[in-house]
Structure 1
């Protein structure tokens, strides 16, 4: 795609940049702004990114063992009968759920490149794989990270995380079903040949003894966790730093801005206060600052997770919020940053807008369901 060298968007971008810089400079001061920018990014890298990477390495190793020794196939066996009635997709679609839950959104693309796998789907069902996979991306990492925060909050967060997982599953149904309304109208129902993956197909395993397979699976899975950890660094450092700086004000209001980490202009809380009645009703949030998590999840789940420790330090987060964050974090796992690429890989880029619209409602539904379930259980 080519654009003119001198265009309106260049002028508009410079104008917005100057406007933002002047607003920040007059509020925080230039020196404080840049000092806070660097210190926040550095603290996020050291204390959050590496923690998430450690979680990703451990969950990656665990996931690899599940696949190597057939546990994932066992899960597939039990879940497959549910896929058709719930999602109106072939049973093999559960492979997409499992692979993305144990890794990240793009894992569904690897399956989509397999003609044997794709031959199970009708034309109108193929684009739905994008919303299905995105609904479960980084699911195990998000869940494990949330549970680990229980020590800081002095509360057992396992029930809240379980509620979040169930709600994300229900939200994925909303997303896929809503998107299927558009795809079915466009493509109609055209049956393909009988599926090319037999029900009793053999799974691939590594060569060698049990212990050799165990160690190889463990290390290979750990490596995939490192890749995920490295992959979230740009999102966390860029998006989270920006979100932090429009969420929290000066650390000590009596002293004003000191150029400390996590200081900034509390713009998001101002917006949150305007719609606080709505977000409290829908999600049960107790503080307007918490709106930062779902907004950040739209671009990067890893970046959104980086907000949790700060919320805990400020004591503005509750187990209900953890349940809602788990549901939204999984369902909205960076879909604005991955949907275009994933739909393009599937060959349906022109349907990206409708896919995003459906997934937006899916994420909102997941958050609302998590809040209602938490109220019913506790």
Structure 2
């Protein structure tokens, strides 16, 4: 028994040692390269300056949008606009997504807020009874495709590209259909036993609350509660914007305007564009990107769409942002919307962790389709 315990400890130590050595090599390899190109003082100053400028110029701007969109979303719920939209969209759910009509509510709620809203619905016992098991699992792909959609569209419209954002919305819808359908197909192929209804034991009727407050009080409460939710969402995106966007910008941008490194905000080593330039014909044909630096947005959106939005003002300042890029950004930003950091938690909460790889694969394809469709739809509309 003691020998077996020692062997277990030794294996555990070796695994931890490999992880530690791998992290050290990766950490010092990346920062050693950046520090070699920029010099160590300039690298540290750029990291701090970029994070500081992102906080003041981007995060607070996005937070303002999330507060206003949160208040708007709460008003739509309070005065039953969401219920009306859900009823209008119900007939489309079965032919497009192979989902019951009530799932339209999930798309609306995640569009108005963020991905986790679908978890709340999926944990509602009465809601689950409308689904088969494989359909319930595919809600992770369906809901994630619309996360923070309202924030993304308002943000892009605020930059003067409202039409491109609406084309991007169409692309996100197409991507969501592909992602959801692929998830359902792969799930049934691997686990055919999930083609059975969801059974919930001891289901209790949900208490229906009828507000007797007057219109003014209901409006005021909805605005304040929704605004508070927007503040929470705005605070939640701060780590992603500051950490991920700073890292991506330093790997994407080049030196300062005079061609030398001064330790100022938004400087970088230009590694990602250099790599993207080797296959730029792919991105140019698929997404219509005229500048390889634009590929940084969809890459960042994989982790957090809020962080990806932090790149947009810098693209605009560099003069590489156009209507096509906004359409593709909106489509891929909405469809992916940080799904790498949320899919695992969402499927784990649904007790289907074994389907994580299928969900991620399907959603990766869906996001690519969303961007491609948005680009060619933009080209088509431009020709008309």
Bigger proportion of residues as helix: 2
* Cα deviation, residue 16, structure 1: 1.6
CA contact (8 A) 1:125 1:183 kept: no
2:246 aligned with 1:237, yes or no? Answer: no
Q: Distance in 2 between matches of 1:39 and 1:193?
A: 54
Quick one: distance in 1 between partners of 2:373 and 2:291? Answer: 19
Match runs of 1:49-128 below 5 Å: 49-128=59-138
Q: C-alpha displacement at 1:348, in angstroms?
A: 0.7
Are 2:13 and 1:4 aligned? yes
Show the counterpart of 2:41: 31
Q: In the TM superposition, what is the alpha-carbon distance from 1:111 to its structure 2 partner?
A: 0.5
Q: Does 1:167 align with 2:189?
A: no
Match of 2:6 in 1: none
Q: Is the 8 A contact 1:56 1:141 kept in 2?
A: yes
TM-superposed CA distance for 1:276, in Å, is: 0.7
The CA deviation at 1:252 is: 2.6
Which residue of structure 2 lines up, in the alignment, with residue 319 of structure 1? 323
Deviation of 1:207 after TM superposition, in Å, equals 4.2
Q: Which stretch of the first structure deviates more once superposed, 297-306 or 178-187?
A: 178-187
2: CA distance, partners of 1:116 / 1:98: 18
Q: How many residues align?
A: 366
Q: Which residue matches 2:266? A: 262
How far has the Cα of 1:272 moved from its partner? 1.5
Structure 2 counterpart SS, 1:367: helix
From 16, 21, 26, the equivalent of 1:16 is 26
Secondary structure at the counterpart of residue 252 of structure 2? coil
Kept after mapping to 2: 8 A contact 1:36/1:259? yes
Please report how far the alpha carbon of residue 203 of structure 1 lies from its aligned counterpart in structure 2 after TM superposition: 6.9
Deviations 1:220-272 (A, max 9, x none): 00001001000000000000000010011111344x11000011110111111
Question: Deviation at 1:158?
Answer: 2.0
Which of 149, 156, 159 is the matching residue for 2:159? 149
* Secondary structure of residue in 1 paired with 2:269: coil
Query: Is the 1:286–1:317 contact (alpha carbons within 8 Å) kept by the matching residues of 2?
Result: no
- Identify the residue that residue 355 of structure 1 maps to in structure 2: 359
Q: Could you say what secondary structure the match of 2:179 adopts? A: helix
- Contact in 2 for aligned 1:39/1:261 (Cα 8 Å): yes
Is 1:371 matched with 2:375? yes
The TM-score normalised by the length of structure 2 is: 0.92
Q: Structure 1 unaligned runs (5+)?
A: 151-156
RMSD value, Cα: 1.8
Number of the residue aligned with 2:196: 190
1:22-45 residue CA offsets vs partner (Å, 9 max, x unmatched): 212221111101000000000000
Contact persistence 2:129–2:197 (CA under 8 A): no
1:35-71 deviation line (CA, Å, top 9, x unaligned):
0000000000000000000000000000000000011
Q: How far apart, CA to CA, are the structure 2 residues paired with 1:207 and 1:139? A: 32
Partner-residue secondary structure (3-state), 2:13: coil
Aligned: 1:212 with 2:217:
yes
Residue 68 of structure 1 contacts residue 205 of structure 1 at CA under 8 Å; is this kept in 2? no
Q: Aligned to 1:302, what secondary structure does the other structure show?
A: helix
CA distance, structure 2, for counterparts of residue 325 and residue 206 of structure 1: 41
- Cα distance in 1, alignment partners of residues 211 and 140 from structure 2: 29
| Contact map agreement 2:128 2:198 (CA 8 A) in 1 | no
Distance in 1 between the 2:142 and 2:212 partners? 32
Q: Which residue of 2 aligns with 1:153?
A: none
Question: What stretches of structure 2 of length at least 5 have no aligned partner?
Answer: 1-8
